[in-house]
Structure 1
């Protein structure tokens, strides 16, 4: 329990809930919704209970309840109202809040119960696109602002990876397409963020394609070995942190010269890092996709 974050600054609450610090202060003063502790220098400090309550308040407010109405509810009525609305409203928002709580508390039971509840009405792909992906994007920002620690991010990432791997393994039972094209999925050297690539692999496998998943930090020259085994290869990579923007075009052009000499070899690229570089002068056998969904559509 010593690893659980139990105290939050008002900036932490703003980052975690999306409610501006100014608004939180107004809600405290006007409606007495939260009761922060204060330091000797009068700096607000919020408990885990306050964070959970504010998540619930934010959810109710985003689903049409006026803040004055929420303030009139008894303390124990707020989570009841949340569950009531979640049962008929947009379940994704409620799930994202629950998964945030699971992350903050390192609560595996809450993670699994939230995921299993989603599975009752959604496919795994729908859960990834509508819940996991928005949550991961938000978690990246929370980590950058020091609202959460790397341990929190790793907790969430590992559990999402487990779900991707489990669902990918289940695809082994599918009848594969005739092996005419092979997708080789890899991350460049020093790149270790593999959730997006794992999900691309899952999507390709679900469509019956032959894939080879090589994972993180693969030296470019080692990929040449694949050319001896397969003729029709589409390499797929995901740039989250590396290569650096200044090195990216050089990396792609070197890749083109080293690995894309055949008419049947191509490179598909995804990842937020791509937006940081000027990539107008791309080799013709290199394609950039702004989302996994767009890549899947062209297959």
Structure 2
């Protein structure tokens, strides 16, 4: 493969495995678990095989195996033991490790293999909450520490989006069973991070509601057209980077002007930008939800 990241610093290894760099150095020196190369300035670098081994060692270590015993197994027996002990308890960790490797290698086949194995045991909702969400929460840290590039993040995010699209489409073949309200999902202007909103759309369809998905960067004024067709709308949005915190008050004022034309309608908002807002804004026709599951539980 071209353009695959094959060299990792000890800080990368720490970020990807959750094992402190100091501990990795001890394992390396005391148990000869890894054989890093050295740069001209004597800085450790690790290859992809070392990362794979560290992730497997970490899974065993977190499942009660002593590091001294793991070190005696040898490179061939460690993956075999990992496969033996994968259970409901460790399956999440194993899946997360596989998805990280798929991301680092831009390896779609490994992503699909891991995903299909999960689907044999879990529902899509369980996979999203137990595996995809923890992975996505790690991406921010990995990106901030330069362990991964934006290309890695886009690659894995778009594969997850594909799965949401597939499962949503399956639900949309059947007519909605709940028609008392319609959910209109959109992102505000200059907002393009839609993975969370796509998953909300899936959950609403799963619960039998009619949804209209409008997607990215929708001006408030353009939403007024929906009021010509529906009188009881739940507008749903996800603020990741926009509007900025300085612009939130103005945005809510503008949206209230829209909602005043439809007294039965409401705006539901989630996302990073509203996490620090007081819940007191959640009154009248605008409601804040601190998580996707909080919104889903309110249905």
TM range (shorter): over 0.9
Alignment map for 1:38-53 (pairs within 5 Å): 38-53=38-53
Whole-angstrom CA distance in 2 between matches of 1:90 and 1:14: 19
> 253-262 or 166-175, which moves further after superposition?
253-262
CA shift for structure 1 position 283: 4.9
What SS does structure 2 have at the residue aligned with 1:28? helix
Query: Which residue number in structure 1 is paired with residue 23 of structure 2?
Result: 23
CA shift for structure 1 position 273: 2.2
1:45-73 per-residue CA deviation (whole Å, 9 max, x = no partner) reads 11111111111111111111111111111
Q: Which runs of 4+ in 1 moved over 3 A?
A: 276-283
> 246-255 or 127-136, which moves further after superposition?
246-255
CA shift for structure 1 position 88: 5.6
Query: Across the two proteins, how many residue pairs are aligned to each other?
Result: 299
1:168-207 per-residue CA deviation (whole Å, 9 max, x = no partner) reads 1101233422532010000111111111100100010111
Query: Which residue number in structure 2 is paired with residue 256 of structure 1?
Result: 256
> 274-283 or 198-207, which moves further after superposition?
274-283
- TM-score, with structure 2 as normaliser: 0.96
Query: Which residue number in structure 2 is paired with residue 211 of structure 1?
Result: 211
**Is 2:10 aligned against 1:10?**
yes
Preserved CA contact (<8 Å) 1:253 1:283: no
CA shift for structure 1 position 102: 0.6
Preserved CA contact (<8 Å) 1:248 1:277: no
Whole-angstrom CA distance in 2 between matches of 1:82 and 1:15: 21
Q: Which runs of 5+ in 2 are unaligned?
A: none
**Is 2:237 aligned against 1:237?**
yes
Whole-angstrom CA distance in 1 between matches of 2:88 and 2:227: 52
CA shift for structure 1 position 27: 1.1
Preserved CA contact (<8 Å) 2:227 2:262: no
Whole-angstrom CA distance in 2 between matches of 1:5 and 1:260: 53
**Is 2:292 aligned against 1:292?**
yes
Q: Which runs of 5+ in 1 are unaligned?
A: none
